[in-house]
Amino acid sequence: DAGVIQSPRHEVTEMGQEVTLRCKPISGHNSLFWYRQTMMRGLELLIYFNNNVPIDDSGMPEDRFSAKMPNASFSTLKIQPSEPRDSAVYFCASSFWGQGIYGYTFGSGTRLTVV
């Protein structure tokens, strides 16, 4: 199992540019989560998909952020336009939701720097 795959690993961009982060969840998992991690705020849930449908996007900070999950094996998180305060590590995680208790498996993360 390749685990949760995120790309790119690092992204440096200029303020105002569009940034797209990508995620491939573990095959068979039906829940996908996008988190942002900073020193000050820790891990914050941005958006959550269940069976490719967005269930909770209350953590998306502004309209500049959008996320899609067109199929069970791919999701994107887009920031347009990007700002320096968006600099953080963005994690994608997936899980199986059903009977029982399941933790999340995290991808390696994308370290975003907006200058």
Closer to other proteins at the Cβ: 9 or 15? 9
Does 7 bind other proteins (CB under 8 A)? Our answer is: no
Kindly tell me which residue out of 46, 75, 88, 107 binds other proteins, with binding defined by CB under 8 A.
107
* Helix or strand holding residue 56 (H, E): strand 53-56
Q: How far apart are the first and last CA of the chain?
A: 36
Q: How far apart are CA 31 and CA 17, in angstroms?
A: 29
Does 5 bind other proteins (CB under 8 A)? Our answer is: no
The residues near 82 (Cβ < 8 Å, ≥ 6 apart) are 13, 14, 15, 16, 17, 18, 19, 64, 112, 114
φ/ψ of 86, rounded to 5, equals -80, -10
Does 17 bind other proteins (CB under 8 A)? Our answer is: no
Kindly tell me which residue out of 13, 68, 73, 106 binds other proteins, with binding defined by CB under 8 A.
106
> Measured from the CB of residue 109, what is the shortest distance to other proteins in angstroms?
5
- The residue whose two tokens read 């909770």 is 56
Kindly tell me which residue out of 13, 66, 87, 105 binds other proteins, with binding defined by CB under 8 A.
105
Contact residues for other proteins, defined by CB under 8 A: 30-31, 33, 35, 41-43, 45, 48, 50-51, 53, 55-56, 91, 95, 97, 101-109
